[in-house]
Amino acid sequence: MTDATPSQADATPRSQGAARLQAWEVQERAARIARALLARIRPRLSLTTGSLLVLLTLFLPIGYEACGPPRTGFELVRGQGDWPSFLGITSAAGGRGFYIACLLLAAVTLLFVLLSASRPQVSRRPALASGLFRLAGTVSLFLVFDLCFLLVVLTRGWQSAAASALAAISCLSPGLFWPKRLFIGWLSVIVSWISLLFVVEALATPGDAAFERFLVLFEVVWALVPVGIWYRFSLTRSPEVRAQWPEIRAGLVAFYTPAVVGNLWFLAVAVQERVWGLVPCYFGILLMALGYMHLAKRAEPAQSTATSSGT
């Protein structure tokens, strides 16, 4: 989730506390290794592979049935089976809608690749590349959160303890990078939202449809808070706010990293439950987001050059 390479001055955290500085150095080393590996994947290859993987799930078992065989993507679209995530378990329509959105994103991406092959200038348009990156990025980040959230809510015993530990690490780790005021606000939102969940749950009756709708709202709002932070600090035109982006980005990476670990665990469970079509769908969505991110980064220098030439 990066829109531009920060300067060395921007890459220095404001607080030079030992724990924060060490966490920053560890993440910087990991980021350099990740960038070196991901740079080898060309955007067109990433976009094509990702979109085909998602579209392939139309023929693969991906719809979960509690008392029956798994359903293919086509059957899931027609309303048979559930999307295997927290959203899909609590709202059949919501889960199906999210899966259809993933399919539409894959179809648009494949069309974009074919169009840019004959008209290369299409992929160099900064507004288009940035918009598609944010769309694919939002879908991928919601999916990461959605799968991890299901682990926390539905697992039992040691699995519940492990999932809860991942969630706690995920929520607290941004504090190593974010400004104190933002982190306190972040924790306040989390604590308030969880407290509200407990109150609503205590008032709800078993099988209450209103409570199930609240659970969907609870997850969607919580999942979109970090996405909103990403938008706020990466899209702003304010130099003061933009200067904080390297710290904010590092905190977001720290937030999502434990969730990705939980996702790998969940995908193993999905294979055991015979809805292994979720595996190519998951990695296909991430590949599309990666491809659009590379295109957005490439388009930005072109936009800066054009602006400089015009002035």
Domain ranges of the chain: 41-305
Element (H, E) at 63: strand 61-63
Please give the Cα distance from 89 to 57 (Å, whole number). Answer: 19
Element (H, E) at 61: strand 61-63
CB 193 within 8 A of CB 214: no
Cβ-based neighbours of 171, under 8 Å, separated by 6 or more:
186, 187, 190, 255
Helix, coil or strand: residue 70: coil
Q: How sure is the predictor about 15, in pLDDT bands with cuts at 50, 70 and 90?
A: very low
Buried b / exposed e along 43-64 (16+ C-beta atoms within 10 A)? bbebbbbbbbbbbebbebbbbb
Helix, coil or strand: residue 82: strand
Which range, of 55-69, 92-106, 214-228, averages the lowest pLDDT? 214-228
Q: φ and ψ at 62, to 5 degrees?
A: -140, -20
Share of the chain above pLDDT 70, in %: 82
Q: How sure is the predictor about 17, in pLDDT bands with cuts at 50, 70 and 90?
A: low
Q: How sure is the predictor about 2, in pLDDT bands with cuts at 50, 70 and 90?
A: very low
Instruction: Supply the pLDDT for residue 42.
Output: 82
Instruction: Supply the pLDDT for residue 36.
Output: 63
Instruction: Supply the pLDDT for residue 156.
Output: 81
Residue 184 has pLDDT above 90, yes or no: yes
Q: How sure is the predictor about 108, in pLDDT bands with cuts at 50, 70 and 90?
A: very high
For 20-70, what is each residue's pLDDT tens digit? 666 666 666 666 666 666 666 788 899 999 999 999 999 999 999 888 889
Nearest to 102 by CA among 110, 114, 113, 90: 110
Q: 142 or 239: whose pLDDT is higher?
A: 142
Nearest to 43 by CA among 163, 98, 107, 124: 124
Helix, coil or strand: residue 177: coil
Nearest to 295 by CA among 145, 88, 137, 150: 137
